[in-house]
Amino acid sequence: MSEVHLADYIDNAEFQLERLVPRLRAAELSWAEIQTMTFAYRQRGVCTLLLTGIHLSVSAAIGFIALFGQAVLNGVVMVSYFNELRDEGLSAYQSVVQGAMVRLRTVLMTSLLAMLGLLPMALSHGIGSEVQRPLATVIIGGLISATGLTLILLPVIYLALEARRPDLSRR
């Protein structure tokens, strides 16, 4: 009786491991995206503050948090579609090419919507603008580089991770 339970336990553990491997790969990709792109987001946001002559403030720091969230959201949209295409049986290269072309509009629209929506805040000079302008400036400046990195660098990172770990690739 205990041998049957042990066999069931081992089968269940193998099943759970098979379900966990793609999630670990996705987490690894998300972590690689965060580590690689966070520096660029912050750098562009800080450069935008320097170019506009705005000092780093609490509202600018909150802008960095919002920028980070928007950038990660765009990355998740891309990676989840890449993984969906991989599940359908496409190769890593085919899923990246097709996924990048299909999700191009989605990523561009979310970024442009955020930038255009914050433009009045960034250009304001009235009452309260000393709080609004740093937040909007950081997000707009950071999204300019974040969008490009999401559309260009993220597919390259995805392909590099897929090539590095062929034993974990989806078939």
> What percent of the chain clears pLDDT 90, i.e. is strictly above it?
22
What mean pLDDT comes out for the span 74-103? Answer: 90
User: In the chain, what are the domain boundaries?
Assistant: 25-168
CA nearest neighbour of 70 among 110, 31, 32, 102: 110
* pTM score above 0.85: no
Average pLDDT over residues 76-83: 86
- 78 pLDDT band, cuts 50/70/90, is confident
87 CB contacts (<8 Å, ≥6 apart)?
Answer: 170
Q: Residue 77: enclosing H or E segment and its boundaries? A: helix 58-87
Residues contacting residue 86 through CB under 8 Å, at least 6 positions apart: 92, 95, 169, 170
C-alpha span between 111 and 73 (Å, rounded):
10
CATH, range 25-168: 1.20.1640.10
